[in-house]
Amino acid sequence: MKNNKKIPTAGFSLLEVLVSVSIFSIILLTIISFIFLIGYYNSKTKAERETWENGQRVLEQVINEIRRAKGIYTPTTTQNQLSLETTKYLPQDEVGTFIDFFVCGSALCVKKESQNPVALTSESVQISNLSFVQIANGLFPSVQITLTVGYKNPVGGPGGNVSVTLTSTASLRSY
């Protein structure tokens, strides 16, 4: 007599294994791509934020110095340099002093009289454009400041080409 009962076999067929590996690979590839995309956008957002914050901070510093200044020192003020006469940083036994804003290297620098220039921007950004335009508006002179700040992106870095141009106008005040 012949036994016609089939004995169940354990394991998976080759087709089942291939389908499972394919589905797992697609899911894993999607997850890895998503993680890299999140990292890219995180770096780009960080670069944008740092560029914007540096630009805003140095623009506010320049505006505050203009507002506190006694006058604009025109012999050394050009389109790319602003010289202010001020009483804020007085050396001993002096009645007035000067403060200058200009681009040194790739940074916005401030130089107080008889001191070395100090960079106001961080090393991760660069100034690509800085201009000062004097505006006559009655009794007190004003200065329009245009500042372009860009992120120093390492070659192939995820920060991209991030730059921001800021423009503001400040008037000297009489105290």
Q: Cα separation of 40 and 119, whole Å?
A: 29
- Give the range of the structural domain holding residue 95, as residue numbers without chain letter: 14-171
> Other CB atoms closer than 10 Å to residue 129's CB: what's the count?
13
pLDDT at position 141 is 85
Cα separations in angstroms, 45 against 39, 58, 123, 159, 160: 10, 20, 18, 8, 10
User: Per-residue b/e over 165-174, b at no fewer than 16 CB within 10 Å?
Assistant: eeeeebbbee
Give me the residue label for tokens 């990292």.
39
Residue 59 lies in a domain: yes
What percent of the chain is modeled with pLDDT above 70? 85
Residue 4 lies in a domain: no
Residue 5 lies in a domain: no
Q: Which residues of the chain have pLDDT under 70?
A: 1-9, 89-95, 154-160, 174-175
Residue 35 lies in a domain: yes
Residue 74 lies in a domain: yes
Contact 129, 114 (CB under 8 A): no
Amino acid at 147: L
pLDDT at position 76 is 85
Alpha helices in the chain (DSSP H): 14-68
Domain tally for the chain?
1
Residue 9 lies in a domain: no
pTM for this prediction? 0.76
Q: Cα separation of 54 and 66, whole Å?
A: 18
What pairs with residue 135 in β-bridges?
Answer: 142
Residue 6 lies in a domain: no
Half-sphere exposure of 35 (CA within 13 A, CB side): 6
pLDDT at position 11 is 79
Q: Cα separation of 146 and 151, whole Å?
A: 17
Residue 134 lies in a domain: yes
Q: What angle do CA 80, 83, 85 make, to 5 degrees?
A: 165
Residue 139, Cβ density class (10 Å: 0-12 exposed, 13-18 middle, ≥19 buried) = exposed
